[in-house]
Amino acid sequence: MLFTGQYEHSIDSKQRLAIPAEIRSQWRPEVHGGAWFGLPWTGNIIRLYPELDFTNRAKNGFLSLTPDENESELKRTLFGLCERMEMDAAGRIRLPERLLKITGLGSEVVILGVGDCMEIMSRSSWKDSMASRLSQIEELVERMSAKRERGMR
């Protein structure tokens, strides 16, 4: 599933967040699973991955029985802080207290489609950073192009 767009939502008093209707309408349990995996990310963000996509990535990306220290630390952090969240009949997930505390998210959030996953971030942070984000697009594209070129060599 390709995640795009931005959706202003609120986290209710029971720490529930509605998955956007546009996303729910494309959701297929046999393809995506019955839940989401959420993990804290830099910038006070929670990243959300569909269950089966996350599981496949985890299996394919971390198969080493003898990881080096960097890989071990990354696995410890990512999997240790990751949470599985099932959707209820109304299409909501309950965000664990631990993820909310780590990221410092309040009740007013924006859900962003970022291609292969969604991100939850503070609505005010998103709005306040819009001009800066737009002004950096060209530089980011150049950096990504240079990175791809180095990877092809």
pLDDT along the chain (153 residues), means of 10: 95 96 92 94 96 88 70 84 94 96 96 96 93 89 86 70
Show me where the domains of the chain are located. 6-124
Q: What is the pLDDT of residue 101?
A: 95
The pLDDT of residue 88: 93
pLDDT for residue 121: 97
Check if the beta carbon of residue 51 is closer than 8 Å to that of residue 36: yes
pLDDT of residue 36: 97
Q: How far apart are CA 81 and CA 144, in angstroms?
A: 28
> For the domain 6-124, what is the CATH code?
3.40.1550.20
pLDDT at 63 (0 to 100): 58
pLDDT of residue 102: 94
Q: What are residue 118's phi and psi, to 5 degrees?
A: -120, 155
